[in-house]
Amino acid sequence: MNTRHEPVNGLSVDVEDWFQVGAFETVIDRESWGTLTDRVERNCAEILRLFSEAGVKGTFFTLGWIAERHPEMMRRIAAEGHEIASHGWDHERVFRLGAEGFAQDIARARKAIEDACGVAVKGYRAPSFSIDARTPWAFEVLAEQGYAYSSSVAPIVHDHYGWREAPRFAFHPLAGSDFVEIPVTTAHFAGRRLAAGGGGFFRVLPYGFSRWAIRQVNGEDRRPAVFYFHPWEIDPGQPRVAHAPLRSRLRHYTNLGVMESKLVRLIGDFRWGRMDELAAREAARAEALAA
Ligand SMILES: [Zn+2]
């Protein structure tokens, strides 16, 4: 692996704390977030160490709520050569916000992030991949606000998210615009599409499944993969939410202790880079095809 002709894949971190995940939203009120134990700072420092040791750069899609409270952390991420992008204000899903609420959400998040780190935000990832068939206005709003790309679509069916009809690889959703959407990686297996770019697929299943999926994308499809994970996924010491539904707890707490060693393998087995650079290459490729 790591040969020169293989595509450079997109490496991304969705920066949110353990209490902000979709799995716990029914049991942890947004109002209480400010009172809960902060783990994101410690976990991001660990991710920066890991990336630095491996010599890779990536993109940190950060909640505005987090950026506002951690300006020093944001400046450090940017100073180490990583891209800072937006994950929205407080993890509300796009299809729940509506067009106007969405415009306000991403403007507020962007201001908080840019104020914190002093670097312009060009990329966006929707909370829980919530740009789908219900949000035909979302890309237009992003382009209007000057975003260059989004990585917010999961082209699959899943119990929490998914837009089955969306393309598997980068596409221009707006006619006459360079704006590009880069969906999260899927693999095909036994006639089905699987979300293979992170989440439970990576953390819960043996590492070999992810290696197989990314090899399929890089090799058979000859396209870059997009991978994501969260700071809380490398943190076995995070506070436990005892009153959450069993299914949510299973999904959240499985294999936290082995995540870091899996990540090290993944980073070593493939080529990785920032999402903005991937977006620029994908936009150029789409133009070349259209010409
Ligand atoms: Zn998220």
DSSP 216: I
Distance (Å, whole) CA 166 – CA 120: 28
Q: Residue 288 Cα, ligand 1 centroid: separation in angstroms?
A: 33
Asked if 74 and 62 touch (Cβ cutoff 8 Å), the reply is yes
**DSSP per position, 41-85:** HHHHHHHHHHHHHHT---EEEE-HHHHHH-HHHHHHHHHTT-EEE
From first to last of its 291 residues, what are the pLDDT tens digits of the chain? 455 578 999 999 999 999 999 888 889 999 999 999 999 999 999 999 999 999 999 999 999 999 999 999 999 999 999 999 999 999 999 999 999 999 999 999 999 999 999 999 999 999 999 999 999 999 999 999 999 999 999 998 766 678 888 999 999 999 999 999 999 999 988 888 888 999 888 999 999 999 999 999 999 999 999 999 999 999 999 999 988 888 888 888 988 889 999 999 999 999 999 999 999 999 888 776 665
According to DSSP, the β-strands at 192-195 and 186-189 are: antiparallel
- Dihedral of CA 32/37/43/45: which sign? positive
Q: Residue 3 Cα, ligand 1 centroid: separation in angstroms?
A: 32
Q: 9 pairs with which residues across the strands?
A: 272
Q: Residue 49 Cα, ligand 1 centroid: separation in angstroms?
A: 22
Q: Residue 184 Cα, ligand 1 centroid: separation in angstroms?
A: 13
The residues placing their C-beta within 5 Å of ligand 1, an ion, are: 14, 16, 127
Entry pTM: 0.95
Q: Residue 153 Cα, ligand 1 centroid: separation in angstroms?
A: 13
Q: Residue 128 Cα, ligand 1 centroid: separation in angstroms?
A: 5
Q: Residue 141 Cα, ligand 1 centroid: separation in angstroms?
A: 20
Asked if 148 and 179 touch (Cβ cutoff 8 Å), the reply is yes
Q: Enter the tokens of residue 76.
A: 């450090």
